[in-house]
Every structure is written in structure tokens, then in C-alpha cells.
Amino acid sequence: EADIYQTPRYLVIGTGKKITLECSQTMGHDKMYWYQQDPGMELHLIHYSYGVNSTEKGDLSSESTVSRIRTEHFPLTLESARPSHTSQYLCASTGLSSGNTIYFGEGSWLTVV
Amino acid sequence: QKEVEQDPGPLSVPEGAIVSLNCTYSNSAFQYFMWYRQYSRKGPELLMYTYSSGNKEDGRFTAQVDKSSKYISLFIRDSQPSDSATYLCAMEAGNTGKLIFGQGTTLQVKP
């Protein structure tokens, strides 16, 4: 059972608003990831972190930013949301305690109107 | 061309059928192969994890990897209505967690 939590699960906001999607894990994993999934499409990696104060952009370009101040916490922020940001955002983590298998959170469904 | 190709389906089978789900890939550097199950509005749940070529069995699920053909499969025996979900293949070259996913195959098992 994966102990990785995302909030909010569902969010509808207006264009231009700033939003932060929260992700926390209690497994002590050093590696954390954000994937983006449009309906019926593949998941694409947008950000990853291999430890505190370490963040990198993934294969899919994204206007979002991330931070990793604490091991267990990896929030994703959109400074000014647009309708093109409407998607599902999935947080994942892995580490030695889970044999390097990757666990996903339940996802955050974002709709920008 | 996508690095990982997966037939999106949908695939509809009667309860008790054997289901075969497949992915092909183009990057010969991939060494770690995974199958995830995703229910509607939920996060992906890891089903099978294999390294390099070969077979791996876990209950009703069997994963096969053929690196020479760049082809992986997931077999589900005695399929149940609760198996109805989207099945995602995923793979990576190094043990980095930077996964490349297929599009997912939607499976419906009818009672």
C-alpha cells in the first residue's frame, strides 16, 4: 500500500489564478515525480527531484514550477492558470524502502475555466 | 514515432476469458518494464515489475518481456469484472523513475 497523498483531488478555478497542488509521502522516499495526463493520453513526466533542494524538468515542457524543501513534500505551483493547464496531475515517489518501485498518488484533477 | 506503442482498445471480453495486453517499444536501452492498472479518476497502481527479458507470474497475472523483439505482454487469466480498468505499460532505461508510458488499453470484462 502506497502512502502518497495528493490534495486537492478536484479543483475548478478561473483563468489567471495561482494554484498549488500538494503532494506528500510518508515512506521516506528520496525520489519524487510529477506526471501530467490528459484524458485518454499517456502520462508524461514534467518534474522530478532526487532529494531536498534538487529539482529538474522532465521530458514534457510545463509552465509549472516545483520545490523540494522537505523530503516528504513536493508541491507543484502554477502562477497563472490557463485553460490549457486543464489536466490530471499525478505525483509519484520511489526509494530504497520500496525496492525502487514507483508508487503513484490518486491524482489531482485540475480544470481551468 | 512514439517510444512506446500500446493499442488503446477498448477491449471487451466475457468473464473468465484470458486477456492479452501488449506494448512495443523502440528504445533498446529500456531494461525495466512495468504494468500499471488505473481505475477511472484514480492513480496508477503497480501490478507487475520485471527486469530484462523473461516471464514473471503473480496470481492471475503473467508478465512477459521479449527484448529481442522489443515486445512486452501482460496476460490475465480467469478475468473478472473487477479487472475492468485501463492498463498502462511503462518502461525505463536506468533505475531513475523517469518512466515512459504507453497510451493505455481500456479493458471491460462483462459478467
Local confidence band at A1 (pLDDT 50, 70, 90 cut-offs) = low
Local confidence band at A18 (pLDDT 50, 70, 90 cut-offs) = very high
Contact by Cβ (8 Å): A34, A44: no
Mutate to test the interface with B, among A25, A43, A90 (most CBs of B within 10 A): A43
Which contiguous run of DSSP H or E holds residue A31?
A: strand A31-37
Closest Cβ opposite residue B43 in set A40, A44, A104: A104
Rounded Cα distance between A60 and A44, Å, is: 6
- Chain B residues in contact with A89 by the CB 8 A cut-off are none
- The 3-state DSSP class for residue A84 equals helix
Say whether residue B43 is in contact with chain A using an 8 A CB cutoff: yes
What is the model's pLDDT at position B53?
85
Rounded Cα distance between A49 and A70, Å, is: 11
Local confidence band at A2 (pLDDT 50, 70, 90 cut-offs) = low
Q: Which amino acid is at B104?
A: G
Tell me the pLDDT of chain B averaged across its residues.
93
Residue A16, all three cell numbers: 489567471
pLDDT per position as a tens digit, A63-108: 999 999 999 999 999 999 999 999 999 999 998 877 778 999 999 9
Say whether residue B81 is in contact with chain A using an 8 A CB cutoff: no
Q: Work out the average pLDDT over A38-64.
A: 92
Per-residue pLDDT tens digits of chain B, which is 111 residues long:
789 999 888 999 999 999 999 999 999 999 999 999 999 888 999 999 998 888 999 999 999 999 999 999 999 999 999 999 999 999 998 878 889 999 999 999 999
